[in-house]
Amino acid sequence: MTSDQLRIEKAERLKRLPPYLFKEIDRQKEEVRAKGIDIIDLGVGDPDLPTPPHIIQALKRAASDPANHRYPSYSGMGEFNAVVARWYKQRFNVDLDASTEVVTLIGSKEGIAHIPLAFINPGDIALVARPGYPVYHVGIQFAGGTPYFMDLLKENSFLPDLEAISPELAQKAKMMFINYPNNPTAAVATREFFESVVVFASEHNVIVCHDAAYSEMAFDGYRPASFLEVGGAKALGIEFHSLSKTYNMTGWRIGFAVGCADVISALGQVKSNIDSGAFQAVQIAGIAALEGDQACVEEMRQIYAERRDILVDGLRSIGLSVEKPRATFYVWVEVPGGYTSAGFASRLLTEAGIVTTPGNGFGTSGEGYIRMALTVDRERIREAVERLSRLGPFGC
């Protein structure tokens, strides 16, 4: 049979998926750019700031060492995992056993996508916050499970209403995905909320997976808590972290998961059958990031805070409704009356050359919002506001 005779048919799990949100945004951007329109990209959350020099230098040295050119440990270098445990103790006062309660990831996305394979059987239910990072529900679907969406609503401060979950459904659920500080809403969680999650998960035997990728991106003196700070949390859940946003290392693909030893072990078992671990030179660079001078992180916070203020003040000045975020580098903007999320995002792109992310791309309860990322410099943000002002004023 020749290649032109081969009938290619995708698996049903792929057929059921919508286009990956950011891939579709990239396609639309290229269409507009091809028309000669200057693009200001406030869409995908990819930091524009460079990785700090001391981290780059650590990678250069490690990459030159032949000892790092061989297969790494599946679960991560002992030294990297130990540094993660020390960082958690210093940052959150959470004690971790580096040998059993830490696993290195090839970026947190990889771990989030793989954890359902360790626990979800076909037909099982997992609870997923919506709007949310698409990988949560995609990983569940790939494992054959069914996501049950917990809607994040403005009236609930974009926290899931656990009491609205029926006892029958709660008893069937095996996992729960939450994420604070939150992408895309920029909402933050209180300790009381995390305590309620622990009570709920304990009562219903639910594994909690908390995505804390934005814990270090907070402003005005606010310091987000770890889910694992709550008593009993480590017995029933894990927390995902990434160096991507904290140290501007999105392309480096290095992260980690920490928490319940049994859950970490199961995730490690999945990984050992799928990947061969993170490049040791990148792990060594990760050690330099976590153990090095954190002034670079504070500088980044200040830069994002300045950008946030320019954007939020500008949006409010033209009649758009938006809360000033305390964390993440996202701004969650209500669309004006008469628009859908996709319709408003499309107008901003085609008429102003501004890329945003329609809220419904993160789930149906994101309808009525767009997400803007603070990943361009101050002058470009000012220009974006100026372009928007020519389309407005808007009234919500």
pLDDT band for 35, please (50, 70, 90 cuts).
confident
Give the model's pLDDT for residue 31.
85
Q: Find the distance separating the first CA and the last CA of the chain, reported in whole Å.
A: 60
Looking at 174-183, 249-258, 321-330, 342-351, which range is the least confident one? 342-351
In a domain, 1, yes or no: no
Neighbours of 114 (CB within 10 A): 23
Separation of alpha carbons 45 and 165, rounded Å: 31
Both 175 and 304 in a single domain? no
Buried b (16+ CB within 10 A) or exposed e, 127-165: bbbbbbbbbbbbbbbbbebebbbbbbeeeeebbbebeeb
Burial class (CB in 10 A: 0-12, 13-18, 19+), 172: middle
Both 109 and 124 in a single domain? yes
> 232, 263, 291: which is the final residue of a domain?
291
Backbone dihedral region for residue 220 (phi beyond 0: left; psi -120 to 50: alpha; all else: beta): left
- AA letter at 324: K
In a domain, 202, yes or no: yes
Give the model's pLDDT for residue 297.
98
135: closest CA among 48, 237, 17?
A: 17
Both 94 and 238 in a single domain? yes
214: closest CA among 249, 262, 179, 190?
A: 179
Both 172 and 263 in a single domain? yes
In a domain, 88, yes or no: yes
* 345-354 residue pLDDT tens: 989 998 999 9
Give the model's pLDDT for residue 32.
84
- AA letter at 222: Y
Which has more confidence, 12 or 3? 12
**Tokens, residue 396:** 């919500």
> 276, 291, 306: which is the final residue of a domain?
291
Do 322 and 312 contact (CB within 8 A), yes or no?
yes
Both 303 and 227 in a single domain? no
Does the pLDDT at position 4 exceed 70? no
DSSP element (H, E) containing 238: strand 237-242
Both 259 and 317 in a single domain? no
Looking at 99-108, 173-182, 295-304, 346-355, which range is the least confident one? 346-355
- For the whole model, what pTM was predicted? 0.95
Average pLDDT over residues 35-39: 89
pLDDT band for 111, please (50, 70, 90 cuts).
very high
**Tokens, residue 119:** 């626990």
Average pLDDT over residues 14-31: 77
Both 267 and 312 in a single domain? no
The secondary structure of residue 346, as a DSSP letter, is: H
Q: How far is CA 51 from CA 63, 254, 277, 286, in A?
A: 16, 13, 22, 11
In a domain, 396, yes or no: no
284 phi and psi angles, rounded to 5 deg: -65, -40
In a domain, 2, yes or no: no
Both 285 and 299 in a single domain? no
* 48-86 residue pLDDT tens: 999 999 999 999 999 999 999 999 988 899 999 999 999
Q: How far is CA 172 from CA 104, 141, 205, in A?
A: 30, 16, 9
Average pLDDT over residues 274-302: 97
Separation of alpha carbons 23 and 19, rounded Å: 7
Buried b (16+ CB within 10 A) or exposed e, 17-26: eeeebeeebe
Which has more confidence, 263 or 33? 263
In a domain, 3, yes or no: no
Do 276 and 71 contact (CB within 8 A), yes or no?
yes
User: Residue 286 is part of a domain; what is its CATH number?
Assistant: 3.40.640.10
Q: How far is CA 102 from CA 44, 74, 105, 212, 266, in A?
A: 29, 12, 10, 15, 12
Give the model's pLDDT for residue 21.
66
Separation of alpha carbons 101 and 108, rounded Å: 16
- Strand 125-130 with 173-179, pairing: parallel
Both 213 and 227 in a single domain? yes
- Strand 207-211 with 237-242, pairing: parallel
Give the model's pLDDT for residue 116.
98
User: Residue 323 is part of a domain; what is its CATH number?
Assistant: 3.90.1150.10
In a domain, 4, yes or no: no
How many domains is the chain partitioned into structurally? Answer: 2
* 355-396 residue pLDDT tens: 999 999 999 999 999 999 999 999 999 999 999 999 978 875
> 267, 291, 315: which is the final residue of a domain?
291
Give the model's pLDDT for residue 67.
96
Does the pLDDT at position 267 exceed 90? yes
Both 142 and 264 in a single domain? yes
Give the model's pLDDT for residue 2.
54
* 298-339 residue pLDDT tens: 999 999 999 999 999 999 999 999 999 999 999 999 999 999
Q: What range does the domain containing 327 cover?
A: 12-50+295-391
Both 246 and 338 in a single domain? no
Do 264 and 100 contact (CB within 8 A), yes or no?
yes
